[in-house]
Amino acid sequence: MNRPMMHVVDHQTGESDPAEIRRVFDAQLATALAWRESTVAERIARLKKLREAMLARREDFYAAFAKDYRKPSAEVEGTEFMPVLDEIRHAIANLKKWAQPRRVSATVTTMGTQAWIEYQPRGRVLIVAPWNFPLNLCFGPLVSALAAGNTAILKPSEMTPAVSAVMAEVIAKVFSPNEVALFEGSLPTSTALLELPFDHIFFTGSPAVGKVVMAAAAKHLTSVTLELGGKSPVIVDETANIKLAAETLMWGKFTNCGQICVAPDHLYVHESVKDRFVAECRKALEARYGNTAQAQRSSPDLTRVINQRHTQRIAGLLDDARQKGARVLMGGEVDVSSCYIAPTLIDQVAPDASIMSEEIFGPVLPVLSYRNLDDVVREINAQPKPLALYIFSTDNARTRRILAQTSSGGVAINHCVLHYAHGNLPFGGVNNSGIGSAHGEFGFKAFSHERAVLKSGPIMVAKLFFPPYTGFKQKLIRWTVDSLRLPSL
């Protein structure tokens, strides 16, 4: 039987009632305290209920995604349902192992004691999700939060109202508000939520908004996981499988219309293979979306930009690049009224073009040629650390060199985007591209407090170090300190 929906949204403003937000937050405290003692079986039962409720609304989600930004049902399956369901499957299979206290051995100064690490729920958590993958990036972190034993308040993006409405109904069917609640709205709702002393905040979005979230969390010393973004570069060297690289990158870039935090943002292609690479990219795009401008515009497989404002932003980047000398190799058509931008490749991009400093987050891809790999590494290191780095090469030594000389949240070699889906890898950024990790055990730990526990035995070695400091004790302490200089076996 469906749980009653909370009527907390002002239909004139579209914002949730701050008083109701506070009431639900306060009500979740008792649940959070009780859930500290929740068993693995109880947590798994919650995950299974969430999974079944999601699947029961499959067709409704298809319709909602089509309404919000014309997303094909196949992409809804592959980029929204699949990641969440795999996260649930992975958690159910491994939660017993993840949640088990972990014994640690004694050190020289703690001989005679036992010690272990226990994983406690953080408590009441806030999950703020973006619009580009509204189901995946809201329910995915929720899976980790529930696996760790937390209550949660969800804040989806106001830019995907149809999807948010279905998600709200799913949450209301599975959970009572004092367990998991979802609040719709824009900046005023987010502000009201960020004023509350949550035990953890999980935010996915831009670095600029991530700074706002981190500043709000600092007022309560709330821990944060920030999944941000950045300009993820690609290197295609002269040893790469050019056809495979082109086909893979055209998938990773233009899925979801390029609105992916780990989408290839710009490409460095060795000058000796650039023309061949561009030709293969063109072939791949024409095979997938049509070989004429009209065919591509009519393609049912090409997602739209989320709204007119973002369409204008991306069009502005493209226009600025053109004015500064960029050449359109393919695409370039823009229709702001229908939120359409054709799959676009450009080259000869000026270093001072805005598209080279602002995250594109859309279906425009600069293709830059290079001669010297050192120059590419220097350019990458001159920018904020990206969320992802992609290397297409069959030269293992060169690949290792790039890995050693650069920093990024994650790396994929001879592929792109796919590392996001690997449940045994940590997913997250570094500095400007994020703080903390998600997915699988890493997501479980993000929503858990790793509590240190030490238990002393009946013979307390430490008593030898209690005052008064006799001559014998001083010698013993000095001997112990000196022994720490010895190399480990």
Active-site choice (15, 80, 227, 441): 227
Q: What's the burial of 269, exposed, middle or buried (CB within 10 Å: 0-12/13-18/19+)?
A: buried
Token digits for 64?
A: 């909602």
Q: Where are the alpha helices (DSSP H) in 268-393?
A: 274-289, 293-298, 308-323, 373-382
Q: What's the burial of 202, exposed, middle or buried (CB within 10 Å: 0-12/13-18/19+)?
A: buried
Query: What are residue 393's phi and psi, to 5 degrees?
Result: -165, 150
Amino acid sitting at position 264: P
Contacts of 458 (CB under 8 A, 6+ apart): none
Q: Are 2 and 172 in contact (CB under 8 A)?
A: yes
Length, in residues, of the chain: 489
- Nearest Cα neighbor of 387 from 435, 340, 425 is 435
77 is catalytic: no
Q: Are 235 and 258 in contact (CB under 8 A)?
A: no
Token digits for 84?
A: 């969440």
For 148, 149, 150, 222, 375, the CA distances from 449, given in Å and listed in that order, are 9, 11, 11, 12, 43
Query: What are residue 453's phi and psi, to 5 degrees?
Result: -125, 130
Active-site choice (261, 281, 339, 416): 261
Q: Are 277 and 270 in contact (CB under 8 A)?
A: no
Torsion of CA 66, 70, 72, 73, to 10 degrees: -10
Q: Where are the beta strands (DSSP E) in 184-228?
A: 200-204, 223-227
Token digits for 154?
A: 């969800």
Q: Are 279 and 326 in contact (CB under 8 A)?
A: no
261 is catalytic: yes
Q: Where are the beta strands (DSSP E) in 338-447?
A: 340-341, 344-347, 364-370, 388-392, 410-413, 434-435
CA distance 388 to 403: 12
Question: Could you give the residue numbers annotated as active site?
Answer: 227, 261
